[in-house]
Amino acid sequence: MPRSDFWSGLAVAAFGALALLWMIPNYAGSNPFAQMPPELVPSIAAWIMVVCGTIVAIKGAVIMIRNRMGPLTRDLNWPGIGWALWPFAYVGAAIWVMSFVKLTWFGPVLIGGMLLLLGERRWWMILGCSVVPVALLYLLSVYLMRVGVV
């Protein structure tokens, strides 16, 4: 997978560079009197990322050049990417809703909706699978732990 190596290595190195150039100088703080200043360990970590990411990317690039591959593939599998992405979008949307509606009420909708999307059509299955876990959590959190938030 030289292509994915190239891009992922590049991403890691870029994140490390971003950390070194922007995050650490601005947000790490400093303590001139400490033998181990606060920016030391994050900087080491960022250098590791830059160096290792670059090596991974170069290795990928060398193989790509050797095999005469372009850095981008032409036949991107869009339906496949969409299928990989929708659960993230679904959970992201759920998190947004959860900032208004308590999980106890929204939970069954969350589970039921995803079951539908994953192709479950038996109504009793959807009902059972979405209500039972939520009821279980409700008992656990409200009656045993006595937590108000969930």
Partner 1 sequence: MDFSAVGAAASEAFTLASFIGIGGGVLLGYIVGVIPGLSRSVAISIAIPLTFYMSPFIAISFLIGLSKGTAAGSAVSAILLNAPGEASSAATALDGYPMAKKGKPKTALQVGLLASVIGDILATIILIFVAIPFARVALLFGPYEMAAILAFALVFIAGLSGGSIFKGLAAGGLGIFLGTVGLDNQTGLPRLTFGYTELMDGMPLIAVAIGTLALSEMFVQSEKLRYDRAGMSVELKNDRSDHITWPLFRSIIPTVLRGTGVGTFVGALPGLGPSVGSFMSYGMTVKASKDPESFGKGNPKGIAASESADNAVIPAALIPLFGLGIPGNVSAALLIGAFAIHGITVGPLLLRDNPELLYSIFAGMILASLIMLALGWFGLMIFAQITKVPPHVVIPIVIFFCLAGMMLQGYGTFGLVILIAFAALGYLMKKYDYSFVTFLVAFIITPMLELNLRQSIILSRGNWEILLNRPIALFFIVCTLVALVALAVRTFKTGKPVANAPAD
Partner 2 sequence: MNRRTLIATAAAIGATMAAPAFAQDWPTRPLTMVIGFAPGGSTDIQGRVLANVMEEFLGQPVNVVNQPGGGSAVAFTRLKNTAADGYTFLFGGTTALTFTPIITPVEYEIDDFEYLAAVALGQNAIVTSAEQPFETFDEIIAHGKENQMTYAQQTPLDEAIIRAIAEEEGLDLAIVPTGGGGGMAPLVLGREVDFAYSGGTHAQYTPTGEMVVAAFMSAERSPFYPDTPTLMELGYDYSIEDYRTVIVPQGVPDEVKARLMEAAEYASESQAFKDITEGNTFFPVVYIGQEEMEASVRRIRAATEEVMGSN
Residues that bind partner 1 in the complex, under the rule CB under 8 A: 1, 4-5, 8-9, 12, 15-16, 19, 23-24, 27-29, 31, 34-36, 38, 41-42, 44-49, 52-53, 55-56, 59, 80, 83-84, 87-88, 91-92, 94-95, 98-99, 103, 107, 110-112, 114-115, 118-120, 125, 129-130, 133-134, 137, 140-141, 144-147, 149-150
Q: CB 140 → partner 2: shortest distance, Å? A: 13
CB 53 within 8 A of CB 11: yes
Report which secondary-structure segment, H or E, holds 140. Answer: none
Distance from C-alpha of 106 to C-alpha of 109, rounded to nearest angstrom: 5
Distance from C-alpha of 150 to C-alpha of 138, rounded to nearest angstrom: 8
CB 131 within 8 A of CB 108: yes
State which of positions 63-102 bind partner 2 (CB under 8 A): 100
